[in-house]
Amino acid sequence: MFATGVTIVTARAADGSLVGLTANSFNSVSLNPPLVLWSLALSAGSMPTLSTGSHYAINILSASQKELAERFAKKRDDRWQDVAFTEGVGGAPVLAGAAASFECFNRSRYDEGDHVIFVGEVERCTYSPGASPLLFHGGRFYTEHPL
């Protein structure tokens, strides 16, 4: 019952393929240096790329990106079809239309329980002024604040 924002974490694998997944386990850690964290299940198919790659991007989704959040939350071969993005630091895809994006160096990882906690050092941050965030609460997405 904790309301969160919704992110899509993206990266580029060593073979050039794109990786992306919906995550709401995102938090700031430090302002100096700028650090953020997020977590991923050990069983996730994207774990090999994300645990060994040098960079990833954390894309904070806007309210208009609910369909994208749902698409990247499921195992689909076509999840990147028609998705607009630019190449960010280290090749990580930065999604068009995101409320904000954090382009991160994959600084450290901590195995805890059945997840890995990733700590990223923010190398570049962008945001869209006035963009409303996509929210997740009680197992549902919200494009407006739930009353």
Could you report the per-residue pLDDT of 74-129, keeping only the tens digit for each? Answer: 988 889 999 999 999 899 999 999 999 999 999 999 999 999 999 999 999 999 99
pLDDT at res. 136 = 92
- Positive or negative torsion for Cα 13, 39, 22, 87: negative
* Rounded mean pLDDT, 44-48: 93
pTM for this entry: 0.94
* CA 141 vs CA 5, 23, 41, 59: distances in Å: 9, 12, 21, 16
* Rounded mean pLDDT, 21-48: 95
Domain annotation for the chain: domains and CATH numbers:
4-142 (2.30.110.10)
Tokens 């990247």 -> residue: 72
